Each structure stands twice: as structure tokens, then as C-alpha cells.
Structure 1
Amino acid sequence: MNRLENATSPYLLQHKDNPVDWQEWGEEAFARARELNRPILLSVGYAACHWCHVMAHESFEDVDTAAQVNADFVPVKVDREERPDVDAVYMQATQAMTGQGGWPMTVFLTPQGKPFYAGTYFPPIPHHGLPSFRQVLDAVATAWRERPGEVLGSAEQIVEQLAQRQVVADAATLTAADLTAARDELARGFDPINAGFGSAPKFPPSMVLEALLRLGDEDSTTMAEQALTAMARGGIYDQLGGGFARYSVDAQWVVPHFEKMLYDNALLLGVYAHWWRLSDSPLAARVVHETVDWLVREMRTDQGGFAASLDADSLDAAGKLKEGAFYAWDRAQLVAELGEEDGGWAAECFTVTDDGTFEHGLSTLQLLHEVDPQRLQAVRQRLFTARERRSRPGRDDKVVAAWNGWLVESLVQAAMLFDRSDWLAAAVGAAELLWQTHWVDGRLRRTSRDGRVGDAPGILEDYAAVAQAFARVGMATLDPAWVGRASELLSVVEEQFADGSGGYFDTAADAEALYARPKDPTDNATPSGLSSVVHAFELMAQLGGDDRRAALAEAAAATNAALVRSAPRFAGWLFADAVSRTLAPPVQVAIVGAPDDPATAELRRAAYLHAPAGSVIVAGLPDSAGFPLLANRTTVSDQPTAYVCRHFICRLPVTDLDALVAQLERGQPAR
């Protein structure tokens, strides 16, 4: 056993029995490297990463390879989900040195932490132009022993070149014309046949789809609906159990990379709920319900949070670890479970072909057309029950603050739209875990596991996502403590993350100093820290009438307005904010009335259904403590009453549902 036995990360614990003498990232490892005058071998991955497992089995579990590593290097293992700051700065170096990135990421560092050689997966024997891992180890160790000055000089040069790439963008405000141009740029990259953007591999473009739904014009809505439909009907969506896989390896959304990530499902849940709100689509409603059911059934931890991921791999019928083994089927398997008639119908219904749409004659399940819903439900239930007998994929059960924050917000929105108090209770339970466990001595920690908080500090996305989630919980429950907690989180952002020019670093000022301080405004699989904090500041400004935080949101958004214009696919969250800021401003809706009065509930639900995206909706008794929006609001004729406001300036109060809907829809873009 190496030095990972006390880690809180399931990914690190997967490696605790490796013969490689792994250490966790920290000063102890760097001190050892300096003492022994050895380079650091940094290996970065995550628990659900297929190729991380492959390299582990091939190299890190091999005694001879481990002996070579231990003799010449100080090996350090990092979970990218636990330390995204470490991952970010060394991924930047890896991409600069190799032209590509990915996981596992393999980087060689000086004892001072500066990178000088990098790659991703290395095979155990030379393959497809890649050297073997042992060849790489030998070459790096030889260079370090025989040409140390050259290696150190290379590291210095790499760090200097990376520093020069940090360009401060000119602040600007986006106009309606800019947003139209951004939409047109997205349309040029849209796949008109298969939907989505670009070619294979295809990732769920959650933030971009949210921006397009907010735009609401015909072209934007068509792109969004086509992509949402294709994903929901394709193999990337689990047609039996709900939830989305990480991405599709093909352009048609047929074969996923089977790992399921919490962040994808958190963000997509919000987008599908928004789509249903706008369209009343039965497909959208089905995805929302099935995804929440999967999250609560399979991802909720005993402490009330939600686990990070499910693995892509599981044991097949022969006991071998295979990607997708839990999810793929052939016709014979369907017939064995359902009988000849229903099995044949299921094969046609789910596009299970004789040759297979996946590999080894197996198919992913797709649902490309509407079929008899009652028969489908019966068949799906029988197949789901049968699948439960298969070996399950592994679960990374650590709780990541930002990912849970995004999920809590989406759960709250879905709960209010679909009138599901149990969903709201699940959201509140996750929020409680984040506050009670992750908030330590006035600062946020990034991860926990089994109720034990990790040492990794929260980064910008954690503070922003959790603050926004807490604000949404406060509105839905009328508990002002949550709003106060959100404000505390954002106060830390202002004090520790601001760059002095309107933007924000991804790490706190007092965080561990890496060779560079990460600051990436681009959205990738998740919103950037910058775009997340823009949304959080804006929501809190709307909730409390806080002009100062509104100005902070506007200034932060302006620092990367150029990114929305030039690369909207990588600025979807800022794009969505810009639409709300420019074309469809959010409103504040105050509903005063007894919380247990059905008429109060009807007005509140109508507000959630019809208010522009990003709006604030608060329902409770007049002058409820902690909610300025309810101050000095009175009922009309002793009936529950709604006030629709902008900047706390309100229209005439209404008690009628139709009148409320008319006020909410006035001024929104035509659909």
C-alpha cells in the first residue's frame, strides 16, 4: 500500500494498492522531490475515466514499471475533479506542448512544480506512433540526470510562454446585434442532419442550448429543440433508467462514452425543464422526470448530496471489464427477457440491429420514434428489472460542491414547475450537506465523501454555483437563512477572487500558489467560474435589489464580451446572461398570501411557468423577514396577490391568473 490510503477521493483510493509509491499533491511531495533531486511524475485523472483505468492496469499495476517510477521520480496522483486548479494549469501546459489534451494526463515537473514534458495516455508497448510508457520514463530520467540545465531551461521557457498567453480582454457591453451575430455563428456550426454542433465526438451543449432557448426566435428555438430531441432519443440518453452519458463518440448521438457525470445531468435537467416550460413537450417532461428519478435513485448519497459519476465500465457476462456492458443489448437478450413477440418489438423500437450499433454485435438503446406508450412503459420496466441483475458500474461517491450547486438549482426549478415537493426536499437536503459539511471556518471546501470534508479548497465555480443554489432554495422555501448564506459565499468571492479589473481568478488569493494562477473564462463541459459568478451576482441583485452586485455582474460579463461574439460555443453561459440582460430582462414577482392557500400556490406556479429566465419569484406573507421584495406588499380584497416588478418598481397588483400571465409575457421576445 502506498500513501493514498487516507485520501477522500475514490479515484485516488483506486490506486492505493498500486506498487507505484503514489503521494497526494502537496508540499510533502515537492519537499521529497527537492531532497532527492528527482522530477515529479504527475498523473491526473478521475474515477469514471476509461483510459485512466486502462493505463492503471497496464502500467501502474505492473511491478517492473512501478519499480522504474519509484527509482527515478516522485510520483504524485491527482483527482482532477477534486483539484481542478492543478488540472487546469498543467492541462494548459500539456496542450501547449503536445497540441492536445485529455485524461489520463501525464506531466513531468521540476521539483519546483514547473512542467517540462507532457502527454496523456502512454501504452505499455510502442503503439500507433506513441512510445511506450517505460520508454518515456527512461528518456525523461536520462535527460534529468545528464542534461539538467537543458531540462530546467526548457521548463522556464514553457512557463514564460504560457504567461504571455494571458491576455486581458477589453471590457465591452453586448448589443442586440452582437447577440444575433453570435446566434448566426452558432448556426454555421450546427449539424442540420443530426443536430448539435460540429462533428464527432459530440458533447451535450447545455449552456449554449440555454442561451438559444432564452433568445427564443425561430432559428434559435429550432436549433435548441432539434438538439434536445436528438439527445433525448439517442443512445447518449439511458432509455431504461434515465440520465445522460458524458458524450457521443459519433455524430449521430448513437454510441456514448458511457460514463455518467453529475454535472452534465445537473445542467441538462435545467435545460429540459426550461424547454418543457416553453413548449409543453411530452418528451421534455419525460426526460425531466426520468432524470430526477435516476438522480435520486442512484446518485444520492446517504448524507443527502449527489455523487460525482458512474463509471463507463462494468463486468460483462463473462466477468470481463468492458465499457458499456451494463447498458448494451442484442436481440437475443431482449427475446430472452421479454419473449419472442415483445422482444422483437423492443428490438425494433430501440433500434437493436442484427449487426449491432455499438460493438461485438451489441446495440445501444435508442428511441427514435413515438410508440405505444403503455406497451413501451411495460417493456421498459421489465428490461430495467432485468438490467438490475447485471454487474453495476462503479460509482464515484464524492460530493463536489459546484456540481451539487448546479443540480440543486435545477432541482428547485423543476420542483416548482412540476409541483413536486419531494424534488424540492431533495434539493434542500443537498444544500444542507453543502452548508453543514463543506462550509468550514468561513470558507468553502470543494469535496466531501461519506460526510467527511476533503482538504481541497473551493474554487470560483464552487462559490458561485453554491451561492446561486442557496439563493434559489431560499426563494422556494421562504427561508432567509439561505439567502444570507449565499451572500456570505459571494462576499468571499469579492474578497478573494477579484482580479481588480472586473474579472475573477479561478483560485483564491490565499490558495496554494501554482506556477500560474488559473483564470479561464471559457465554458467547457461546465460553465466557467467567471460565467457562473456573473449568474450568481445577477440573481442576488435581482433578489435583494442590490445595485452594487448588479454592477459587479455587469462588469464581470463585460470582461469577456468578445468571447461571446467570436466563440459563442465556448461562452454559452455568458451568452445566456447577455440575452437576459439585453433582450428579455428578468422580473421580480412578489406573491403575497397565506402559504397554505391554494390560490397562492397557483399564482406562484404561474409565475415559474411564464416569467423570463433568471427571474426571482417569492411567495409568502406580507413583510416576511429577509425578503425585501415582500416588504410593504399587501393583498387586494384579502385575496392572494401578485406584483410583477423590475428593479423593485412594480406594475399594478393582480389576483387573477390570466392577468398575471399577461404581465409576465409582456415585453418578452416573440416566439
Structure 2
Amino acid sequence: MNELHLETSPYLLQHANNPVHWKGWNENSLALAKRENKLIIISIGYSACHWCHVMEHESFEDTEVASTMNRHFISIKIDREERPDIDAVYMKAVQIMTGQGGWPMNVVALPDGRPIWGGTYFRKNDWINSLERLQEIYTEQPQTILDYAEKLNDGLQSLSIISKNNSTDFNIEILESLVFKWQKSFDWDFGGMARAPKFMMPTNYELLLRFGYQTKNQTLLDFVNLTLTKMAHGGLFDTIDGGFSRYSVDIKWHVPHFEKMLYDNGQLVSLYANAYKLTKNKLYKDVIEKTLAFVEKEWLTKEGSFYAALDADSLNAQNHLEEGAFYVWTITELQQLLQNDFELFSIVFNINEFGYWEHENYVLIQNQSLDEIAKQQNITKETLEQKKKTWEQLLYLEREKRSKPRLDDKCLTSWNAIMLKGFVEAYKALGNQNYLDIALQNAYFIINKIWTAEGNLKHSYKDGKATINGFLEDYVHVIQAFISLYEVTFDEKWLQNAKQLTDYAFDNFYEEKQQFFSFTSRQDDPLITSHFEVEDNVIPASNSVMADALFKLSIYFENSYYEKICQQMIQNIVPTIDYPSAFSNWMNVQLHFSEQNKELAICGNQALEYVKKVNQNYLPNIVIAGSTGLSKLPFLENRFALNQTLFYLCQNKSCQKPTAKFEEISTEFGL
């Protein structure tokens, strides 16, 4: 029978009433497949996935499909967000078999879990025919399938091997050549890469922003500004209530895949905060404030955690689930709401051919600044800004009457930490104390509910219970978040917590032979192959995030081993880079070793006042430390002096003579 009612994942619970005899991924399910010598169907998706819902409706709710699956197979449903380890391994297999991947992902495997066939979305008849043919071959020609499984498994094992490189050349020319190559893919009309669909890829723009800043490359800075502006003006950004959707299906950031994910919004807040520090662009400030207001209202729990996502689908006027139904508008609706302002609204938000989507629906998109429109319409910019606020509030109140997208109410540790860091970065840029308060609240949630007495983190939290042993991504993002909290509070417990988690990760994830951290802990049962996450994607690779953290912690704790491992990881990756967009966070870590990188220590009773001033500026090449009293942190030992605040500027393990004059530091950094 269907066993998914025993699960807590919202995605799995959505399938609990299917006629398919779904099981969860557990020892009993895997043992049953071996005992009955049955092929396994492994179907992977997530709650906000539109095409996952389509395949469920067309196939998994269908009794004919269920009959085929139940008769011959052990069917296991997996939430990819709960089990990114399983998803990563079988995604590699699908990519080997088909040349592409995505969700829903459906794989057929031998009873021991080795894959033999797979793909993404299948129509009902194709799905049934494929399953019946596979079962026929498995029954009549089992050796054919076993031979193929062996070859495919060999291919998967080879993907886990990362080549070693002993070069320690961290010359910036390597990065310059990669960025030069990368520029050929830039879209100079709408920003981002010149292709559709368009994913935001925040790590890419963090790197390009930093590289443009450090090399004084105005072309790169202009491109990042173009991209962030076009994303903020596009339908991708919910100007009515804040927050970004997962990606745009078109080249102009107009029509999104309407789901909103916590990890996207956390990273984008950090990115816009850094861009705001450099440019003081009011649009970026608006994006940050709207997005965090949305996160606080829709995803922040009473316990201080953040929910995972909002679905792409919601109920339409006919009470049917429809992608984007909550977000789109018809001309008739807008005319009734806006009345005399409709014409001006249409100019601002393109209620015309440029802003048209489908089925008489429009997705709001700007292609001109308010400055330009105000001049054209002979009104003041202030008047137009006020009108825009009024319109958005009017549409917000109307939209709240609609059926909201479904909420995925599990709390994932890695995503929570990414959002925590977003709140900290926003606090640095804007100085809003509420942002820091929320970040601290989330940090204590992680410590009290996610971090166990045995020293490990859990991956998922729902209904008062933390489950699933944490993956590398959980550790590295929590470590990063705790470091960011230290940067604004100078409370050393956050660094001590970060170090403790780092040392746990070395004990349970680091593979000396591979010179990287495995995605799964040695405490967990092994999958069919090991997974070392090294390519940056919509979330940076967990190994690149660890390398970044190791660099900073090596300075704070004067730990040469951390620095050695960080360098080792970089030298294994950077020389092999072909596609910079897939390794942008690694490139960012290599920039830490540039001649421009420095450390700043602020010690004294006014340290927090000064660090707040420093943090308002874009200084990606500065590692900041400080204390308001005596410190035992190795980097700060013997640097505190009573009744004065001293500034220490250091580079390459050597510090200049301390100064009590902030102006000297300000001049050094161009503040």
C-alpha cells in the first residue's frame, strides 16, 4: 500500500493518496526490493515543481499506471530537498543516459540500487510502455540489463574522481582569462547570460562584482548593474509583495517559473546588499526591503526558522491548480482597480505586447526607469514613485483575496543558514536592527533545534522534530552564517561554533585521498557511489563554500592546516575550469589570495560603532575582526588597549603599526 502518509515532507504527503504503492527511501523499502528481486522505480521531485504536479496528475493518480507500477516494481518517492544526496547521484546517472536532467526525475534501478534507465517528465503512455518493456527485458534477458548497469555504474564511479594538481600558482591572470572568455556569453540587452531559460545564479554576479571592483573593470560593474536592474524590473521579482521566483522562462526576466525558493531569496538579498554598498542604488535598497518583508511575513516561524518554498501552482477562479494564477493580471481586473491611473500604470508595467504572457494574462515588467517615464509624462519622479507605491498596495490587497500558492513548511538547515546570512548582509548594508535580530533568532534556532548533543547537524525540521543526518551543505552554510554574525557582533562564540562545526566536518566528511569533502557523512549508509559536490550551481558547491570558510577561519585562528586544505582544493579546481559560470565561487576564493586582500582588526570599547561604519562599504577583499575587550582569538591576542580603540591593518601575516585614527583606515580603503 501507499506508505507516504508516514512521511513529513509536504511533497511526499502530496502523493500519499495516489493509487501507486509508494514507499519512502528507507532500509525496509530497499530490503524488500532485494528480497522480491524487483526493479526499483525512484521518482524524485519537490513540492514547488510544476511538472512534478503535472506528471502526478497524468500518471501517478491514474489507476492504469498504478497497476503497472504496483505489479512489477518497488516504487520509491523522494523529496530532492530532503535527500539532495540521493538526488545528486541519480541525477548524474540520468545525465549520462540522456544528456540532460531536471525534475521530476524518474529512474529505474536494479534491486541493489544501480540505475538502468531514466529521464525526467514522461507522458502517461510513454511511461507505461517504458516500464513494461523494462520489466520484459529484466525477466527474459536479465544479463543484458545487468551488463548495462555495470557499465553505467563504472561511469558514475569515474565521475567521483577529481584530478589532482600540485601547482600553487594563484596568479590573477588565470582569472582574467576566464572572465574574458565568459564575457562572450553576456546578454547586454537584458543582463544575465544570453540564453533562456534564465537562472539568477547569484554566485556568478558576486564574483563579477568583486572582480570588477578589484580590477577597476567598469565594463564588468556595468554588466552586473544591468543584470540586477533588469532582474528587479522583471516579472521574476514580485514587485507587489517582494521576493524572487526561481527562474525566468524567457530571455528578458519576464515570465518566471512562479515558485519562490528560500535559497534564491537568501542569496539574492546578499548580492543586492553588496551591490547597494558599492552603488547606493535606491532600487537595490527597495529590492532588499521588499524581499525581507516578504520572507518575514510568509516564511519566518515563531521558532525563528524559515519555511522552504511557495509552490508555482495555485487555485484559479475555477478552483483548478494553475501555474502563476496567484500572480497574473488581466486588463479588465487592472482597469477596475486602477481606473484613471490605468493608462500610466500600463506605461510603467507594460500592460501591452511587451508585458503580455498568455491567456489574456499579463506579468508586470518594467523596461524603463521611473526617471525616464516621469520625464516623458511631464510629472515629477517623486509623484510617480508615490503612485507606484499606492498601486502596489492596491494590487497587494486585491491579490490577498486570491487562493495563495501552497506552502512547503519544512525547514532545511542549509537554506535557513543562507537566509540567515542574507539578513546579516542586509543589516550591514542598511543598518536595520530588525534584520540582525531575525538573523540571531535563526542562529539560536539552529543551535537549539538542529545541532545535536552528539555534535552533528540535522538536515530538516518540521512539526517540532529535526530529522535526517546533515549533509556537507548544511555544515558549510551554517559555518558561513556564523562567521557573518561574528563580522557584525564581534561575539567570538560564533567563530568558536563555526570552528567546532568545521572540525566535525573534517572528522566525518573529509576524504584525504580525494582532497575534498564528501557530500555525505561517514556516519550514513553509503549510496551506489560517492558524491563530491564541486560545481557551483544555483547554490554554490558545498566544497567551494567550505574553501571560503577555511580561508577566513585560518586567519582568525591562525590555523595553517585550514589554509593548506583551502589552497589544495583551489589548486585542484581552478586550473581545470572550462566554464567559469560553474566555478564562480571557486574563483572568488582564489581572489582571497590576491595582493589586494587584507585583514582589519578593530579593538577597543568603540569597536562595534566603527565596524558598523566599515560594514556599510563594499570591501570584499577585507577580512574583519575585532573585540570590545580582551580576546583569546589568536588573530586578536594582545591587541586590546584600555580606554582607546585601535585599528590594525594586516596583510600576509604581517601588521602595520596600530593607529587610533579611523581617518587613516578610511583613506586606506577609500571610504
Query: What is the TM-score with the length of structure 2 in the denominator?
Result: 0.93
Paired residue secondary structure (2:124): coil
Residue 110 (structure 1) shift: 0.6
Residue 71 (structure 1) shift: 1.1
Alpha-carbon distance in 1 for matches of 2:210, 2:353: 42
CA contact (8 A) 2:604 2:629 kept: yes
**Any idea what the Cα deviations from partners look like across 1:137-189, whole Å, max 9, x if unmatched?**
21122122222221122111110122234443232443111111011011011
Alpha-carbon distance in 2 for matches of 1:661, 1:464: 32
Partner of 2:591: 579
Residue 654 (structure 1) shift: 4.1
Partner of 1:9: 9
Partner of 2:667: 662
Q: CA RMSD in A?
A: 2.0
CA contact (8 A) 2:274 2:429 kept: no
Alpha-carbon distance in 2 for matches of 1:658, 1:45: 55
CA contact (8 A) 2:277 2:618 kept: no
Alpha-carbon distance in 2 for matches of 1:167, 1:442: 29
Paired residue secondary structure (1:623): coil
What is the identity, as a one-letter code, of the residue corresponding to 2:429?
L
Larger deviation: 647-656 or 424-433?
647-656
Residue 463 (structure 1) shift: 0.9
Alpha-carbon distance in 2 for matches of 1:308, 1:584: 38
CA contact (8 A) 1:190 1:198 kept: yes
Paired residue secondary structure (1:322): strand
CA contact (8 A) 1:59 1:124 kept: yes
Alpha-carbon distance in 1 for matches of 2:201, 2:458: 28
Residue 657 (structure 1) shift: 4.3
Once the two structures are superposed, the pairs formed by residues 122-201 of structure 1 within 5 Å of their partners are: 122-125=122-125, 132-171=126-165, 172=167, 173-201=169-197
Partner of 2:391: 379
Alpha-carbon distance in 1 for matches of 2:429, 2:356: 36
**Any idea what the Cα deviations from partners look like across 1:277-313, whole Å, max 9, x if unmatched?**
1111111111111111111111112321111111111
Alpha-carbon distance in 1 for matches of 2:350, 2:601: 46
Query: What is the TM-score with the length of structure 1 in the denominator?
Result: 0.93
Q: 1:79 to 1:72 in 2, by over 3 A?
A: same
**Any idea what the Cα deviations from partners look like across 1:219-258, whole Å, max 9, x if unmatched?**
2212211111111111111111111111111111111111
Once the two structures are superposed, the pairs formed by residues 569-648 of structure 1 within 5 Å of their partners are: 569-594=581-606, 600-610=607-617, 612-613=619-620, 615-624=622-631, 627-634=633-640, 638-646=643-651
**Any idea what the Cα deviations from partners look like across 1:176-227, whole Å, max 9, x if unmatched?**
1111101101101111222111301111021111111111222221221111
2:247 is aligned with 1:234? no
Partner of 2:373: none
Alpha-carbon distance in 1 for matches of 2:595, 2:197: 33
Alpha-carbon distance in 1 for matches of 2:143, 2:503: 45
Larger deviation: 369-378 or 42-51?
369-378
Paired residue secondary structure (2:469): coil
Paired residue secondary structure (2:322): strand
**Any idea what the Cα deviations from partners look like across 1:253-276, whole Å, max 9, x if unmatched?**
111111111111111111111101
Quote the sequence identity (%). Answer: 33
Gapped regions of structure 2 (runs ≥ 5)? 371-383
Q: 1:69 to 1:376 in 2, by over 3 A?
A: same
Alpha-carbon distance in 2 for matches of 1:160, 1:620: 53
Alpha-carbon distance in 1 for matches of 2:21, 2:348: 51
CA contact (8 A) 2:192 2:227 kept: yes
Alpha-carbon distance in 1 for matches of 2:421, 2:522: 27
What is the identity, as a one-letter code, of the residue corresponding to 1:364?
V
2:318 is aligned with 1:318? yes
What is the identity, as a one-letter code, of the residue corresponding to 2:620?
A
Once the two structures are superposed, the pairs formed by residues 277-356 of structure 1 within 5 Å of their partners are: 277-338=277-338, 340-353=339-352
Q: 1:300 to 1:551 in 2, by over 3 A?
A: same
Residue 582 (structure 1) shift: 1.7
2:421 is aligned with 1:409? yes
2:368 is aligned with 1:369? yes
Alpha-carbon distance in 2 for matches of 1:152, 1:307: 42
CA contact (8 A) 2:207 2:587 kept: yes
Alpha-carbon distance in 1 for matches of 2:235, 2:598: 36
Residue 466 (structure 1) shift: 0.7
Partner of 2:374: none
Alpha-carbon distance in 2 for matches of 1:356, 1:567: 33
Q: 1:399 to 1:113 in 2, by over 3 A?
A: same
Once the two structures are superposed, the pairs formed by residues 58-69 of structure 1 within 5 Å of their partners are: 58-69=58-69
Partner of 2:92: 92
Q: 1:356 to 1:615 in 2, by over 3 A?
A: closer
Alpha-carbon distance in 2 for matches of 1:613, 1:586: 10
Alpha-carbon distance in 2 for matches of 1:490, 1:634: 27
Paired residue secondary structure (1:183): helix
What is the identity, as a one-letter code, of the residue corresponding to 2:639?
R
Partner of 1:468: 480
Q: 1:551 to 1:665 in 2, by over 3 A?
A: farther
Paired residue secondary structure (1:610): coil
What is the identity, as a one-letter code, of the residue corresponding to 1:529?
S
Alpha-carbon distance in 2 for matches of 1:621, 1:302: 32
Partner of 1:129: none
Q: 1:635 to 1:11 in 2, by over 3 A?
A: same
Residue 377 (structure 1) shift: 1.0
Partner of 1:597: none
What is the identity, as a one-letter code, of the residue corresponding to 1:181?
S
**Any idea what the Cα deviations from partners look like across 1:39-80, whole Å, max 9, x if unmatched?**
001000001000000111111111222122111100001111
Q: 1:297 to 1:434 in 2, by over 3 A?
A: same
Once the two structures are superposed, the pairs formed by residues 550-569 of structure 1 within 5 Å of their partners are: 550-564=563-577, 566-569=578-581
What is the identity, as a one-letter code, of the residue corresponding to 1:76?
I
Residue 30 (structure 1) shift: 1.2
Alpha-carbon distance in 2 for matches of 1:233, 1:656: 42
2:440 is aligned with 1:444? no
Paired residue secondary structure (1:192): coil
Alpha-carbon distance in 2 for matches of 1:8, 1:482: 31
CA contact (8 A) 1:459 1:508 kept: yes
Alpha-carbon distance in 1 for matches of 2:326, 2:6: 30
2:470 to 434, 458, 468: 458
Partner of 2:259: 259
Paired residue secondary structure (1:632): coil
2:488 is aligned with 1:490? no
Q: 1:27 to 1:85 in 2, by over 3 A?
A: same
Q: 1:281 to 1:542 in 2, by over 3 A?
A: farther
Residue 367 (structure 1) shift: 2.6
Larger deviation: 82-91 or 191-200?
191-200
Alpha-carbon distance in 2 for matches of 1:304, 1:212: 33
Alpha-carbon distance in 2 for matches of 1:95, 1:169: 21
Residue 135 (structure 1) shift: 1.2
Alpha-carbon distance in 1 for matches of 2:288, 2:554: 29
Gapped regions of structure 1 (runs ≥ 5)? 126-131, 595-599, 667-671
Q: 1:57 to 1:158 in 2, by over 3 A?
A: same
CA contact (8 A) 2:241 2:396 kept: yes
2:28 is aligned with 1:43? no
CA contact (8 A) 1:590 1:642 kept: yes
Paired residue secondary structure (1:524): coil
1:508 to 513, 521, 528: 521
CA contact (8 A) 2:555 2:635 kept: no
Q: 1:318 to 1:345 in 2, by over 3 A?
A: farther
Alpha-carbon distance in 2 for matches of 1:383, 1:363: 13
Q: 1:205 to 1:581 in 2, by over 3 A?
A: same
Alpha-carbon distance in 2 for matches of 1:653, 1:607: 17
